[in-house]
């Protein structure tokens, strides 16, 4: 079947498809957390003393008492088997942004040849997947391939239902046999602990006597595209790279903004309901769904949760979106830029810190005490973003997110903080020492007056900022749609831990010198603003003036590509930060650099090979076939005395030749292997390889505009984005 016939068939199938009928929605109360072995299920199935012990572990994050592990394991197995699970899996989160799982059966063969189901505390608590196939950045030599997974008791076990059966899934950490973190969960837990310690010290210095464990929270908004699976299967680029490597922009794109405000297409709504039902059963509080800016683009956002659980749940959301899409005949694209010229996808990470005694510490609150506490934490964030902005950039550096950042649709690759007009003014006044003059604004004596009511900025008020205060949290908007949120959360918690540690020490010094609390706080916040206030920016982050001003006047780093950003992980001040907070050892940090750099290089090399393949095996043959048809038609017409202009044929011929010349160059470029360093290889990918790929694409896309549609082998942007 020629490429074009396959396209036509795909469209016919889509148009004639039987609509999936929506299931009548289940009552939320009936299905909520049905597939989660949560506290209430433990309480119902465990002896009281065992339950008390595990409950304490969950709240405090302490080590699990081995004596209770067996009882918990048995109860968990009975629950899972009653729900049809015959296998369990230790689920872990390697450095690749993916979710990994190793499945084992409950089955145990006995001496007499019979089998029993077995699941001991030991296997619940610790697993031993062959770690050698997961990237470790050189931490382990290949002869020592063992890696350990260990149950993260703070994240509940759950059952994953698929058409092929149910599996009991146990969220775990993944470490090397020498104890180094090989995953994204270990450092996340450590970053929360570091932030907790520093935050509690500050809270006590601020006069609070009862101070509970401080945790960080996260609510992540996930953007994604849905396209029909019939089209996806005809696009090798979507199948292998998750984005289109060729494709001419359609005559109609997103310029009418009609998708964002439009009703959710029926077929998509049925899909969303199916996703939500699965998520509710998994105890994931899906809350918001809507169309996004681009045609075919949507968003799902859960209610926020504790960062560690939110991160595990976010991974599950991505898995459920992908699986459910397949069931509904869609392909779910989580890539940051599946379609050139059309808005890409991000994952806004809403982040805050708080505890049971003082509440949300990034909420201004309404008493003077709350206000001043808020300013301290907010000041700590400002200091953190200024000191560690390049690290924040590194935490969102992937080959796919590079297509989005700074491309006038997503925040720039320069890290700054947006506070909103009023809050920016408050900090400006603290800095200039004019606090006392603005009494009418209510910020004079922070110990007595309250802040003016801050208007809660709707999330989209300033879309151009990578990191915006939105009333009671910060929204990290530059995070990529396919990323794990752990990396960004680790950086945010760690830099806050560092700032709070510094503030705690400064505060202690001031107080022992006899300075009163409010004066001490204002003095310290003034210092913060003087040293770090340049990172606060409320203007248009997309503008050329900002790029100029940020770098030349404010000294902020602009790191446009991953090749520019990742080497930050090797900087001494970053190594110090992670070491002193106990979040990553130098060896762990270095291994992260190696793994991320390798991922970057690999994904560009794979795409480059695909570009060559598609140009040679799909586009070139289509062009030649069309030309040959065209020339024979022109000849027969000439025989009849009809002469047509040959310009179109000449254009096709010339574009084809130019494209193939560039393909030759890219093939040669891919053969270069002698690089002085990983950094040099990354730069080569970011510059030489990417620009050749772009150039080939531009010829390919021009050909799509010249060749008769009936000869074109690939589903077009128009078809993929608009045919539902």
Please report, as residue ranges, which positions from 408 to 467 form the binding site for ligand ADP (by CB under 6 A): 458-459
459 binds Mg ion (CB under 5 A): yes
Minimum separation from the CB atom of position 470 to ligand ADP (A): 6
- Which of 458, 647 has the CB closer to ligand ADP? 458
Cβ 458 to ligand ADP, closest distance in Å?
Answer: 5
Instruction: Report the residue number, 470 or 486, with the smaller CB distance to Mg ion.
Output: 470
Stretch that binds Mg ion, among 22-30, 218-226, 410-418, 524-532 (CB under 5 A): 218-226
Residue 99, contacted partner among ligand ADP, Mg ion, none, CB below 5-8 A by kind: none
| Helix, strand, coil tally for the chain in percent (to 5) | 50, 15, 35
Q: For residue 149, state whether it binds ligand ADP (rule: CB under 6 A).
A: no
Residue 409 · residue 254 · CB < 8 Å: no
Least distance from ligand ADP to the Cβ atom of residue 301, Å:
4
Closest residue by Cα to residue 717 from 251, 58, 210, 172 = 251
Alpha-carbon dihedral of residues 29, 30, 35, 41, nearest 10 degrees?
80
Q: Which does 509 bind (CB under 5 to 8 A by kind): ligand ADP, Mg ion, none?
A: none
DSSP letter assigned to residue 449:
S
| Candidate segments 93-101, 215-223, 534-542, 546-554, binder of Mg ion by CB under 5 A | 215-223
Q: Which residues share a beta bridge with 468?
A: 418, 475
Q: Is residue 472 involved in binding ligand ADP (CB under 6 A)? A: yes
Q: Which residues of 295-331 are buried (b: 16+ CB within 10 A; e: fewer)?
A: bbbbbbbbebbbbbbbbbbbbbbbbbbebbbeebbbb
| Per-residue interface string for the shown chain with ligand ADP, residues 276-295, x marking contact by CB under 6 A | ------------x-------
Residue 221 contacts ligand ADP per CB under 6 A: yes
Contact between 218 and ligand ADP per CB under 6 A: yes
What part of residues 316-375 is at the interface with ligand ADP (CB under 6 A)? 348, 350-352, 360
Q: Which is nearer to ligand ADP, 254 or 695 (CB)?
A: 254
Span of 237-245, 300-308, 688-696, 705-713 interacting with ligand ADP by CB under 6 A: 300-308
Q: Residue 217 interacts with ligand ADP (CB under 6 A)? A: yes
Min. distance of Cβ 459 from Mg ion in angstroms? 5
- The end-to-end CA distance of the chain, in Å, is 23
At 21, list the tokens.
Answer: 């009928």
Phi, psi of 433 (to 5 degrees): 75, 20
- Residue (of 469, 533, 99) closest to 316 by Cα position: 99
Residues in 501-520 at the binding interface with ligand ADP, rule: CB under 6 A = none
Residue 253 within binding range of Mg ion, rule CB under 5 A: no
The answer to whether 75 touches 42, Cβ cutoff 8 Å, is yes
Taking the complex as a whole, the smallest distance from the CB of residue 586 to ligand ADP amounts, in Å, to 31
Tell me the window of 140-148, 214-222, 578-586, 650-658 that interacts with ligand ADP (CB under 6 A).
Answer: 214-222
Closest distance between ligand ADP and the C-beta of residue 451, in Å? 18
Which one of Mg ion, ligand ADP, none is in contact with 360 (Cβ closer than 5 to 8 A by kind)? ligand ADP
Q: Does 688 bind ligand ADP (CB under 6 A)?
A: no
- Report which DSSP code applies to 303: P
CA distances to 388, 476, 656, 696 from 392, in Å: 6, 9, 42, 33
Contacts of 468 (CB under 8 A, 6+ apart): 417, 418, 420, 457, 459, 461, 462, 474, 475, 477
Which residues, listed in sequence order, are joined to residue 352 by a DSSP beta bridge? 217
List of residues 6+ apart from 359 with CB closer than 8 A: 365
Binding status of residue 473 toward ligand ADP by CB under 6 A:
yes
CB closer to ligand ADP, 350 vs 401? 350
Per rule CB under 6 A, is residue 592 in the interface with ligand ADP?
Answer: no
Nearer to Mg ion among residue 348 and residue 547 (C-beta): 348
- Which value, to the nearest 10 degrees, does the dihedral of the CA atoms of residues 277, 278, 279, 283 take? 100
Strands (E), 309-438: 330-333, 347-355, 359-360
The DSSP element (H or E) to which 191 belongs, if any, is: helix 185-205
Q: Applying CB under 6 A, does 177 fall inside the site for ligand ADP?
A: no
- What is the rounded CA–CA span in Å between residue 158 and residue 87? 12
Tokens read off for 105: 């059966």
Residue 350 binds which entry of Mg ion, ligand ADP, none, CB below 5-8 Å type-dependent: ligand ADP
Look-up of token digits 């709350």: 370
Answer yes or no whether residue 82 interacts with ligand ADP by CB under 6 A: no
Binding part of the chain for ligand ADP, among 299-307, 326-334, 609-617, 715-723 by CB under 6 A, reads 299-307
Q: Could you say which of 32, 87, 260, 304 contacts ligand ADP (CB under 6 A)?
A: 304
Question: Do strands 85-92 and 165-176 pair parallel, antiparallel, or not at all (unpaired)?
Answer: parallel
- Asked if 719 touches ligand ADP (CB under 6 A), the answer is no
CA dist 512 and 36 (Å) reads 50
CB 339 within 8 A of CB 721: yes
Nearest distance from C-beta of residue 376 to ligand ADP, angstroms: 17
The site map against Mg ion for 44-63 (x = CB under 5 A) is --------------------
Torsion over CA: 290, 294, 297, 300 (sign): negative
Contact status: 260 vs ligand ADP (CB under 6 A): no
**127 contact choice in ligand ADP, Mg ion, none (CB below 5 to 8 Å, kind-dependent):** none
CB of 298 to ligand ADP, least distance (A): 12
Q: Which is nearer to ligand ADP, 462 or 561 (CB)?
A: 462
Say how many residues touch ligand ADP, by CB under 6 A: 18
Q: Which is nearer to ligand ADP, 473 or 592 (CB)?
A: 473
- DSSP codes, 73-134: HHHHHHHHHHTTEEEEEEEE-BTTSS-EEEEEESEEE-TTS-EEE---HHHHHEE--BGGGS
Which residue has 């459910």 as its token pair? 324
- Asked whether position 221 contacts Mg ion by CB under 5 A, the answer is yes
CB of 305 to ligand ADP, least distance (A): 8
User: Burial of 366 by CB count in 10 Å (0-12 exposed, 13-18 middle, 19+ buried)?
Assistant: exposed
Residue whose CB is less far from ligand ADP, 46 or 300: 300
Contact residues toward Mg ion (CB under 5 A) are 221, 459
Contact residues toward ligand ADP (CB under 6 A) are 217-219, 221, 288, 301-304, 348, 350-352, 360, 458-459, 472-473
């Amino acid at each position: 079947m020629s490429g074009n016939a396959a396209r036509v068939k795909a469209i016919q199938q889509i148009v004639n498809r039987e609509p999936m009928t929506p299931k009548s929605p289940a009552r939320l109360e009936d299905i909520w957390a049905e597939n989660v072995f949560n506290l209430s299920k433990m309480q119902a199935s465990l002896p009281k003393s065992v339950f008390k012990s595990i409950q304490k572990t969950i709240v405090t994050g302490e080590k699990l008492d081995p004596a209770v592990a067996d009882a918990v394991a048995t109860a968990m197995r009975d629950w899972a088997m009653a729900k049809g699970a015959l296998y369990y899996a230790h689920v872990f989160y390697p450095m690749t942004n993916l979710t990994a799982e190793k499945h084992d059966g409950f089955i145990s063969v006995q001496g007499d040849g019979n089998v029993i189901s077995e699941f001991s505390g030991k296997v619940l608590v610790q697993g031993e997947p062959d770690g050698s196939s997961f990237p470790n950045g050189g931490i382990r030599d290949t002869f020592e391939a063992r890696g350990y997974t260990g149950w993260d008791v703070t994240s509940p076990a759950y059952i994953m239902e698929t058409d092929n059966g149910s599996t009991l899934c146990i969220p775990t950490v993944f470490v090397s046999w020498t104890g180094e973190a090989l995953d994204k969960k270990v450092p996340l837990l450590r970053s929360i602990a570091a932030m907790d310690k520093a935050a509690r010290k500050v809270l006590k210095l601020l006069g609070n006597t009862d101070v509970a464990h401080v945790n960080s929270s996260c609510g992540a908004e996930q953007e994604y595209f849905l396209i029909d699976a019939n089209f996806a299967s005809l696009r090798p680029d979507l199948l292998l790279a998750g984005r289109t490597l060729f494709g001419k922009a359609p005559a109609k794109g997103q310029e009418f903004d009609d998708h964002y405000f439009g009703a959710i297409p029926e077929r998509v709504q049925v899909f969303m309901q199916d996703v939500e039902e699965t998520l509710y059963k998994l105890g994931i509080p899906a809350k918001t769904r809507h169309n996004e800016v681009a045609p075919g683009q949507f968003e799902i956002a859960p209610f926020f949760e504790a960062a560690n659980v939110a991160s595990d749940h976010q991974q599950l959301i991505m898995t459920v979106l992908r699986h459910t899409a397949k069931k509904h005949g869609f392909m779910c694209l989580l890539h940051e830029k599946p379609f050139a010229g059309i808005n890409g996808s991000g994952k806004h990470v809403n982040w805050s810190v708080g505890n049971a005694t003082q509440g949300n510490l990034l909420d201004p609150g309404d008493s003077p005490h709350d206000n001043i506490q808020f300013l301290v934490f907010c000041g700590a964030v400002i200091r953190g973003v200024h000191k560690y902005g390049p690290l924040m950039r590194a935490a969102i550096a992937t080959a796919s997110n590079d297509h989005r950042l700074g491309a006038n649709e997503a925040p720039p690759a320069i890290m700054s903080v947006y506070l909103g007009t009023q809050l920016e003014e408050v900090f400006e006044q603290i800095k200039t020492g004019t606090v006392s003059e603005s009494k009418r604004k209510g910020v004079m004596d922070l110990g007595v007056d309250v802040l003016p009511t801050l208007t809660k900025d709707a999330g989209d008020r300033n879309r151009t900022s990578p990191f915006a205060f939105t009333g009671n949290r910060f929204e990290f908007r530059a995070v990529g749609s396919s990323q794990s949120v752990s990396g960004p959360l680790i950086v945010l918690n760690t830099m806050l831990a560092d700032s709070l540690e510094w503030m705690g020490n400064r505060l202690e010094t001031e107080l022992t010198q006899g300075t009163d609390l409010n004066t001490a706080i204002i003095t310290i916040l003034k210092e913060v603003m003087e040293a770090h206030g340049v990172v606060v920016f409320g203007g248009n982050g997309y503008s050329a003036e900002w790029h100029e001003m940020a770098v030349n006047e404010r000294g902020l780093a602009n790191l446009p590509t991953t090749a520019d950003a990742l080497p930050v992980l090797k900087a001494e001040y970053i190594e110090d930060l992670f070491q002193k907070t106990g979040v990553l050892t130098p060896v762990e940090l270095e291994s992260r650099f190696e793994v991320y750099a390798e991922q970057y290089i690999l994904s560009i090399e794979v795409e480059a090979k695909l570009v060559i393949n598609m140009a040679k095996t799909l586009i070139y043959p289509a062009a030649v076939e069309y030309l040959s048809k065209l020339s024979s038609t022109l000849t027969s017409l000439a025989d009849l005395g009809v002469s047509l202009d040959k310009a179109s044929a000449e254009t096709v011929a010339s574009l084809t030749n130019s494209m193939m010349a560039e393909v030759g160059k890219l093939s040669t470029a891919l053969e270069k292997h002698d690089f002085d360093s990983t950094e040099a290889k990354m730069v080569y990918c970011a510059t030489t390889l990417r620009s050749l790929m772009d150039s080939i694409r531009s010829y390919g896309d021009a050909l799509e505009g010249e060749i008769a549609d009936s000869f074109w082998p690939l589903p077009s942007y128009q078809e993929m984005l608009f045919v539902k």
